[in-house]
Amino acid sequence: MSEAILPNKSKPMVELQACPSLGGLRPEEMYRNIFEGVPCLVAVLDRNFRLVSWNRTFSEHMEVKPGDCCYQAFWGRDCKCVRCPVEETFADGRFHTSEETGAYKDGSLAHWIVTTAPVTDASGEIVGAIKMCLDITSRKALEEKLKRSEEKYHAIFSDFPYSIFLLDTESLAIIDCNARTTASYGFSHDELVGTCFLDLFRDGDKQAIAADLLRSGHIHQARHGRKNGQAFYVAIRASRCEYPGRKVLLVTTSDITKRLETEQQLIQASKMATLGEMATGMAHELNQPLTVIQSGVDLILRKLGQGQALDSETLRNVAELMAEHVDRAANIINHMREFGRKSDLRREPVQAGDVLRRAFDIFREQFALRGIEVRFELDDGLPDILADRNRLEQVFINILINARDALEAGCAGGPDASDSWAVEAGPADKRLVLTATAQDDWVLIRIRDTGVGVPPALREKIFEPFFTTKEVGKGTGLGLSITYGIVKDHGGNVEVEPTAGPGTCFLLRFPAILSATAASPEAAFSHTSEPKNLSKPRS
């Protein structure tokens, strides 16, 4: 048997000799033990592809009869395979390997790695071949499962309805992107891969943007650009994940341009409704400067009618006072015109406290006429927030209108008042306190009044669209819902803060603008290599 299975008798692959430690087995016995014990199918074939000998594993798994050809034993065929490694071995006398699929005698499917080797006689002539089949069925099943999984997730990645980017965590260079990305941005896959993700932004400090993205994992609104130069707005979310052999940043962007356009229309409608609500108040705001101007005109006309001359000092004082109130009236009108104008969304660093004061200026006279005491408690050195000034002012105006109406409806205090706020305010006081502070990475605005308050059960519902506690015809139910949406779009939050006493306290949180160095401990911009730039028009 040893001579039959050696590829070349004169140069055996392994020289086996009798070994006392193995019980004195002769080489032939050792070859037989190896042949029978190897855990794979082994068969010896002659030049006619007939099976001459086979091992125990082969007998256990295959239905074979003496004289069967290999293609009959393995596949139940009547002729040899188109690509036959045994035939190739017969042709060139070399080892050949292939991957084949067949079936065991129990009908189960099998996958093998097949290796063939030549069998030669004493003269070196090829007289047969050894065929060895290593079962890889389990491995193939795992490979197939992995393939299906990869296809599944690749399909999800490719067909996901939002743009997906895989970014290098240090340089933010694009490693990969899905088909939705190329369709949405207009760049080819090759144009995007290797490009810095920040090159897609059209506005803002790119280092600050990246620091914010790495810190918070989301950007509620950003302006991106397509290859054709068109700008559009996106919401961005990012999370860290594992990519073959490396950690990456998984970033999704969703086009929110249409949503913002719809919101802009709703906000504009709300502005007009707000202006309508403020019309009566504006009459009071304008009445004082007009009264002063009228008094000055009356004085001049009376003196002229009496033929009396005004000394230059009096005339100068009257003229300056009239000019001052003309400017005041003009500022009120211009403020209203600016507030009511439909404007494009533009975010920039702003001082929330300054915008709060500006919003209050519209109501200054209204609060004074109603006997409402107003106190500002604005911390110095507050960090800026990234906001649209006009929309932020609308947020404050909506809440100030609610505070004004609540104070008109009723005041805090009384014998059951339990906190220092109510005691300080007194049973009949109308008080409004506006505060601005910084806490951690946030700017906090509190607007607290001593009005009727909001029942705990309604603290969430008041931000729902068309929900109002006012009488019919006195409120649209949109003010606070729009306020909620604007604050959320700025990455902030608004809520009715629980208070120990009566009245209402609106708490607004806005993310403060931080330096890229402070916000990014990973120093994401110490690039070891520069990502390529997109060649595209800018707008």
Compare 360 and 152 and report the one with higher pLDDT.
360
Q: What percent of the chain has pLDDT over 70?
A: 79
Q: Which residue has the higher pLDDT, 346 or 437?
A: 437
Residue 471 has a pLDDT of: 58
Over 459-524, what HEC string results? CCHHHCCCCCCCCCCCCCCCHHHHHHHHHHHCCCEEEECCCCCCCEEEEEEEEECCCHHHHCCCCC
Q: Quick one: 444 exposed, middle or buried, by C-beta within 10 A (0-12, 13-18, 19+)?
A: buried
Q: Which residues are CB-contacts of 174 (< 8 A; sequence separation ≥ 6)?
A: 165, 166, 167, 192, 193, 194, 195, 196, 197, 531
Query: What average pLDDT does this structure show over 256-284?
Result: 74
Please give the backbone phi and psi of residue 271, each rounded to the nearest 5 degrees, phi first: -60, -45
Least confident span in 227-231, 445-449, 528-532:
528-532
pLDDT at 39 > cutoff 90 = no
Distance CA 2, CA 16 (A): 10
Distance CA 212, CA 219 (A): 7
- Could you list the beta-strand ranges (E) of 104-217: 109-120, 126-135, 163-168, 174-177
pLDDT higher than 60, residue 530: no
C-alpha 234/C-alpha 219 separation (Å) is 9
SS (H, E, C) 57-91: HHHHHCCCCCCCEHHHHHHCCCCCCCCCHHHHHHH
| Average pLDDT over every residue of 25-37 | 72
Whether 192 and 174 have beta carbons less than 8 Å apart is answered as: yes
pLDDT digits (tens, 9 = 90+) for 149-172: 888 888 888 888 899 999 998 899
What are the structural domains, with CATH classification, of the chain? 2-136 (3.30.450.20), 160-255 (3.30.450.20), 258-344 (1.10.287), 347-515 (3.30.565.10)
Q: Which residue has the tokens 């000092």?
A: 313
3-state secondary structure 362-383: HHHHHHHHCCEEEEEEECCCCC
In the prediction, which pLDDT does 519 show?
39
pLDDT at 22: 52
Answer whether residue 523 shows pLDDT above 50: no
Is the pLDDT reported for residue 44 higher than 50? yes
What type of residue sits at position 368?
A: A
Q: In whole angstroms, what is the distance from residue 519 CA to residue 207 CA?
A: 10
526: nearest Cα among 539, 517, 513, 536? 517
Task: Pick 514 or 408 by higher pLDDT.
Answer: 408
Average pLDDT of 483-494?
A: 88
* For range 132-151, the mean pLDDT: 89
**Distance from chain centroid for Cα 317:** 61
pLDDT in tens, 450-460: 988 887 777 77
Report the pLDDT value the prediction gives residue 211, as an integer from 0 to 100: 85
- Across all residues in the chain, what is the average pLDDT? 80
For residue 505, the Cα-to-chain-centroid distance in whole angstroms is 32
- The band of 311, judged by pLDDT with boundaries at 50, 70 and 90, is confident
Q: Which range, of 126-130, 239-243, 363-367, averages the lowest pLDDT?
A: 363-367
pLDDT of residue 345: 67
d(CA 460, CA 204): 34
Residue with the bigger pLDDT between 464 and 518: it is 464
Average pLDDT over residues 100-105: 86
pLDDT band for position 392 (50/70/90)? very high
Q: With 70 as the cut, is the pLDDT of residue 474 above it?
A: no
Place of tokens 């601005």: 436
Mean pLDDT of 222-236: 93
Whether 198 has a pLDDT exceeding 70, the answer reads: yes
The arithmetic mean of pLDDT across residues 345-369, rounded, is 87
- For residue range 53-74, what is the model confidence (pLDDT) as tens digits? 888 888 888 888 878 888 888 8
Confidence at residue 477, expressed as pLDDT on a 0 to 100 scale: 60
Q: How far apart are CA 168 and CA 176, in angstroms?
A: 10
* pLDDT score recorded for residue 23: 56
Q: Give the pLDDT score at 499.
A: 75
What's the average model confidence in pLDDT over 333-348?
70
Mean pLDDT is lowest, of 187-191, 198-202, 427-431, for 427-431
